[in-house]
Amino acid sequence: MSATVTAVEDAAPPRPRPASLTDLFVSFTLLALQGFGGVLAVVQRELVEKKGWMTKEEFIEEWAVAQIMPGPNVVNLSITLGARYFGWRGAVVAVAGMLTCPLLVVLALALAYAHYADSPQVAGALRGMGAVAAGLIIATGLKLMPALKKNAMGLPLCIVLGLLTFVAIVVFRLPLLWVLGGLGGIGWAFAYRGLR
Amino acid sequence: MSITMQPADWLSLLVHFLQLSLLTVGGAITTAPDMHRFLVQEKGWLTDPQFSASIAIAQAAPGPNVLFTGLMGWNVGLNAGGLSTAFFGLLVCLGGIIVPSSVLAYATAQWSHRNRDVRAVRGFKQGMAPLVVALLVSTGLILATASGSGWEHWPAWAITAVAAILVWRTRIHLLWLLGAGAVIGALGYV
């Protein structure tokens, strides 16, 4: 399986890709260790902006699939990307990179937590980092907006669907499944038509 | 707290997390209420503070938030024995929540890559794109107002807004921003 996938990738114009399974593991480890309060913002910056392993458009598309599937979204995205380059071994290595070192950090924090749980400085620092992390995720969304210009359903429809999604989630707090099923279904139909 | 875990108990813990794995659409955190029902209320393997701390610590730490399930297993193991039992519990819960959804994600990724030129597949990915962008902005806003939406939280919102603009418009390293947020918070401004 991995051999055929590689052959297809080689036929495309040359573009950056992980050099080896080790490169994949190290890259995902470093990426995960930067991801306080969520890894997504870091994934976008590292894989799209710095390494160029995915374009903005590819990132959005794969993220859509990762979001629809059960499972942690970032883990699903790691599987997709790892599998793309090295088959099932790539998927395993990418997930291992994403989880192993952060898990050790989490355990260390859990052991330390008992001592500092009551400190107002620690609680304040966590709140401050949480506020920054929220900003990082908003910025990730803002940075991906230009990619919608190339969308098959056209920019105006993208804006309408995006605004409706925003209102459904932020204002009405509708369950994600409803929103993805309803508005996502509409988007699917329009994009399908636009791709003719 | 001290509990006794029989092999059958470990098996039922594993089976519960294996089942939850396929329900975690939108992230593992969406199944946290059910974990609470099972681990704290029904089985009594975990205390309320242990449950809350597991989530809080994983949120504050780097890496995917799903690691909170590992901490829950770790704490169940600690309650039932020593560090080696804790490590076993960690593997049971984290492995249970990740493996089924990952196998499905792998199969889907391979299928959708093989069929990437099929019109329905391309239409699906493109049709979802505006939702994905809007969901990111929405998630950030919900996180920013998670601790409350009153005006007294304006310093936190200001930090969120500044961080968002800096990341959007500059190439500043994310760790600088997180460090600055930690310092401002530790000084008591948030």
3-state DSSP percent of chain A in helix, strand and coil, to 5: 80, 0, 20
Q: Which 12-51 residues of chain B touch chain A by CB within 8 A?
A: 21-28, 30
ipTM over 0.95: no
Rounded to a whole number, what is the distance in Å from the CA of B1 to chain A's nearest CA? 15
**Mutation for testing the A interface, residue in B97, B104, B136, B169 having most A CBs under 10 Å:** B136
Q: Which 133-162 residues of chain B touch chain A by CB within 8 A?
A: 133-144, 146-147, 156-157, 159-162
pLDDT for A4 beyond 50? no
CB proximity B99 to A under 8 Å: no
- Chain A residues touching residue B125 (CB < 8 angstroms): 60-61, 64-65
| pLDDT, tens digit, 9 for 90 and up, residues B47-69 | 988 888 888 788 778 889 899 99
Evaluated on CA atoms B32, B145, A35, A9, the torsion sign reads: positive
Q: Which 6-25 residues of chain A touch chain B by CB within 8 A?
A: none
With left for phi above 0 and alpha for psi between -120 and 50, is residue B9 left, alpha or beta?
alpha
- Chain A residues touching residue B136 (CB < 8 angstroms): 40, 137-138, 140-141, 144
Q: Flag if A141 and B94 touch (Cβ within 8 Å).
A: no
Rounded to a whole number, what is the distance in Å from the CA of A128 to chain B's nearest CA? 4
Q: What is the pTM of this model?
A: 0.82
Q: Flag if A71 and B102 touch (Cβ within 8 Å).
A: yes
Round to whole Å and give the CA distance between B109 and A84: 8
pLDDT for A3 beyond 60? no
pLDDT for A159 beyond 70? yes
Say if residue B91 is exposed, middle or buried (CB neighbours under 10 Å; 0-12, 13-18, 19+): middle
Q: Which residue has the tokens 């959804």?
A: B101
| pLDDT, tens digit, 9 for 90 and up, residues A86-124 | 999 999 999 999 999 999 999 998 888 767 777 888 888
- Classify A132 as helix, strand or coil: helix
pLDDT for A11 beyond 70? no
pLDDT confidence of residue B174: 82
Q: Which residue has the tokens 């999604």?
A: A165
Of B109, B127, B124, give the one whose Cα is nearest residue A83: B109
